[in-house]
A and B are shown apart, each in its own frame.
Chain A
Amino acid sequence: MTENQSYLDMDLLRFTTAGSVDDGKSTLIGRMLYDSKSIFQDQMEAIEKASARLGGEGEEGVNLALLTDGLRAEREQGITIDVAYRYFATPKRKFIIADTPGHIQYTRNMVTGASTANLAIILVDARNGMIEQTCRHSFIASLLKIPHIIFCINKMDLVDYRQDDYEKIKGTIEAFCSKLDVQDIRFIPISALKGDNVVHKSERMDWYQGGTLMYNLENIHISGDHNQVDVRFPVQYVIRPQTKEFPDYRGYGGRVAGGVLKKGDAVMVLPSGLTTKIAKIDTMDGEVEEAFAPMSCTILLEDDLDISRGDMIVRSNNKPEVSQDIDMMVCWMGDSPLNPTGKYTIRHTTKEARCVIKEILYKVNVDNLHRIEDDKVISANDICRVSIRTTQPLLFDKYNRNRSTGSVIIIDEATNNTVGAGMII
């Protein structure tokens, strides 16, 4: 393999960034793009022009934060109002950043960005240490089951790069996170503004022995982030060409949501419960021996069964739960509050159903994790636990077990808007 073909061996890491308004999140992203040479000359010229107009900071005389402020309203108000996606690559990996705003009213944006992320970067201002928003961001990251979390203690330049300050903040966050369900937590002292430990190792913090942020992003092991144990193949689209060349072809198109499927495997189709074997795993490039998450492929079965979109192919000795009564944590996103007696449409894997809210059990105070049981008005950005009943059974796993088969979105039937994100308990 020549150097030019190294991209054939690159993988993809999706991460989200969270921080309060002035934690320097945009500066950090700007710094990563700038130091990894992912900024183009015309983009640089555009922000140099804008920096001159709006005022800039940073030692290069440009405001790196301006790189990530997309829409005109944001540039004028100096805030980020919606999830924005950024891209960069190093020779090792390609990265997708879901850049989410830190304002209190935008919890829904962080949840959105977190839903597809392998990793979260949570920014903490070294001068302020752990604040309410840090709790909130950590809680959301753990609720959404982001497999890896990196706390960047930022603005170390403003506390004279003192190890004591860093260790104290680290200790507080570690104590808090022990209450959360998080597998992999890391800490890095940085200065996004000055570039310490972002891409280049800081010479001003000899006491820090760990890798830079970029080193961590490039080297964190992510192939275990998908469930590779429980076979789950939600049927998405039935492919039946009915042409002269393929008169009897009947394939089930979909994206593997968990486990590894192999040709010849004995499988069960839900909800019917009928069993058969995998005859072939097909793609336009030819047959493949096995399929795993998150691969899109087409599965052909040995027997001619009546299977349609919303059904699921699994192993008979490892079935998902099948139920109409489901408990879940919900992040509410609608402009109007959750209607406790309302009916909603629900989307889960490739299936759509309707549901009623049976009970709102409690609301979570996201700043201290306390349960609120006496106020059950669920407004935008609230996180709560609810019991629902669906019109037909869903085939699901707990969200902790599988992010694909454990997640739902709730849709308001009057406006068609997505108003809630649910994680099945």
Chain B
Amino acid sequence: MKSYSLTHLRELESESIYILREVASQFENPVMLFSGGKDSIVMFHLARKAFWPGKVPFPLLHVDTGHNFPETIAFRDKLMTETGADLIVGSVEQSIAEGKAVEEKGINASRNGLQTVTLLESLEKGKYDAAMGGGRRDEEKARSKERFFSHRDEFGQWDPKNQRPELWNLFNGKKNMGEHFRVFPISNWTEMDIWQYILSENIGIPNLYFSHKRRVFERDGSLLAECDFIPMKDSEKIEERVVRFRTIGDMTCTGAVESDADTLQKIIDEVSSTRTTERGSRSDDKRSEAAMEDRKKQGYF
């Protein structure tokens, strides 16, 4: 008998498509978080596959800190135009102006934590009952126990000790009024899977991921891009280096790595031989050993 089997990328793709269709079926008003990073780009690509030739039946929500790389925003806008997707932008800048969020002080000030305020506010305003995110379990310890369908109470909080068991591919999206879900359709993908898939599907990504010349400076072992949002110490020196970004977040906390990987294949080769995790260049995770766990409990993605 002929043997039928899927490659790991096809199996992951099938699983994610199944989850995306499940979200569209089980929830009344879902939304997909979109950051402009590779994970959310892949998640959106999978959503297009799940509902093709129909339109993706939910809008995308971008929580804009105001500290994004301009390249990310340009890429986002182009992708939305090309695919005809609906985009909603939640602005951290506005949350600060309205006094709902307070800007951090000091040299390492970041708006990363403030995203949670704007995110929860945007979810409430749109009355969304499920928000899909591109979180992956391999990213970080606290994420390794996250469910595909992650229940949040009316304050948007995550209770890691009281999660619903998740069996087979039967997902329970039932909830009480005011509660909502976070859903992670690409939970089982690793950084390597994402890159291999981007290559094999020929998916466009912001050019920040590819090697380029950039003016950077070193802080706590990370290379940060020169920008107006980061106050510099006198001892810190701007240098031009050949770098790329492994993750894309705020300019204030996303470190670059020195690299000459200017094609997807070179990135894959680099990722497969690299010895640090991608979040290793994110200063927001370095704050404490349980930094991510604490942020997630408060409603962070």
Q: Say yes or no: A4 contacts B269, CB within 8 Å.
A: yes
Interface range on chain A (Cβ under 8 Å from partner): 35 or more
Contacts A70-B144, A85-B137 hold; do A409 and B14 have CB atoms under 8 A apart? no
| Residues in B whose Cβ lies below 8 Å from that of A173 | none
| Residues in B whose Cβ lies below 8 Å from that of A295 | 6, 10, 14
Nearest CB to that of A255 among chain B residues? B18
Report Cα–Cα, A84/B165, bound state, in Å.
12
| Residues in B whose Cβ lies below 8 Å from that of A82 | 145, 160-161, 163
State which of B50, B175, B275 has its C-beta within 8 Å of the C-beta of A416: B175
| Residues in A whose Cβ lies below 8 Å from that of B163 | 82
| Residues in A whose Cβ lies below 8 Å from that of B106 | none
Cβ of B200 under 8 Å from chain A:
yes
Which A10-38 residues have a C-beta within 8 angstroms of B? 10-12
| Residues in A whose Cβ lies below 8 Å from that of B108 | none
Q: Say yes or no: A407 contacts B168, CB within 8 Å.
A: yes
State which of B3, B48, B142, B196 has its C-beta within 8 Å of the C-beta of A7: B196
Q: Say yes or no: B192 contacts A89, CB within 8 Å.
A: yes
* B253 shortest CB reach to chain A, Å: 16
Nearest CB to that of B3 among chain A residues? A223
| Residues in B whose Cβ lies below 8 Å from that of A416 | 172, 174-176
Contacts A294-B6, A403-B168, A404-B168 hold; do A239 and B54 have CB atoms under 8 A apart? yes
Cβ of A316 under 8 Å from chain B:
no
Cβ of B265 under 8 Å from chain A:
yes
Q: Say yes or no: A40 contacts B161, CB within 8 Å.
A: no
Which A366-425 residues have a C-beta within 8 angstroms of B? 403-404, 407-409, 411, 416-418, 421
State which of B4, B17, B49, B167 has its C-beta within 8 Å of the C-beta of A223: B4
Q: Say yes or no: A116 contacts B168, CB within 8 Å.
A: yes
Q: Say yes or no: A108 contacts B165, CB within 8 Å.
A: yes
Contacts A96-B188, A284-B48, A284-B52 hold; do A111 and B137 have CB atoms under 8 A apart? no
Contacts A11-B6, A72-B290, A284-B49 hold; do A87 and B138 have CB atoms under 8 A apart? yes
Q: Say yes or no: B277 contacts A40, CB within 8 Å.
A: yes
What 0/1 readout, one digit per residue, does chain A (67-111) give for beta carbons within 8 Å of chain B?
Answer: 000111101000001111111010001101000000000001101
* B139 shortest CB reach to chain A, Å: 10
| Residues in A whose Cβ lies below 8 Å from that of B190 | 87, 89, 94
| Residues in A whose Cβ lies below 8 Å from that of B52 | 239, 283-284, 298
Q: Say yes or no: B160 contacts A10, CB within 8 Å.
A: no
| Residues in A whose Cβ lies below 8 Å from that of B49 | 283-285
Nearest CB to that of B138 among chain A residues? A87
State which of A72, A111, A241 has its C-beta within 8 Å of the C-beta of B293: A72
Which B263-301 residues have a C-beta within 8 angstroms of A? 265, 268-269, 274-277, 280, 289-290, 293
Q: Which of A8, A12, A41, A408 has the most CB of B within 10 A?
A: A12
Contacts A40-B280, A71-B293, A294-B15 hold; do A309 and B4 have CB atoms under 8 A apart? no
Cβ of B53 under 8 Å from chain A:
yes
Cβ of A292 under 8 Å from chain B:
yes
Q: Say yes or no: A333 contacts B280, CB within 8 Å.
A: no
Contacts A9-B7, A12-B11 hold; do A421 and B172 have CB atoms under 8 A apart? no
State which of B138, B164, B193, B276 has its C-beta within 8 Å of the C-beta of A417: B164
Query: Could you list 29 examples of A-B contacts with CB < 8 Å?
Result: A8-B9, A12-B8, A12-B12, A40-B276, A42-B276, A71-B141, A71-B142, A71-B290, A72-B290, A81-B161, A85-B145, A89-B192, A108-B165, A109-B165, A112-B165, A112-B167, A116-B167, A116-B168, A223-B4, A236-B18, A239-B51, A241-B53, A255-B14, A294-B11, A296-B17, A296-B50, A309-B25, A416-B175, A417-B164
Known: A7-B7, A226-B4. 8 other contacts (CB 8 A): A7-B9, A12-B11, A86-B138, A237-B24, A255-B169, A292-B4, A296-B21, A416-B174
Nearest 8 Cβ contacts at the A-B interface:
A223-B5, A284-B52, A12-B8, A416-B174, A296-B17, A241-B54, A41-B275, A292-B4
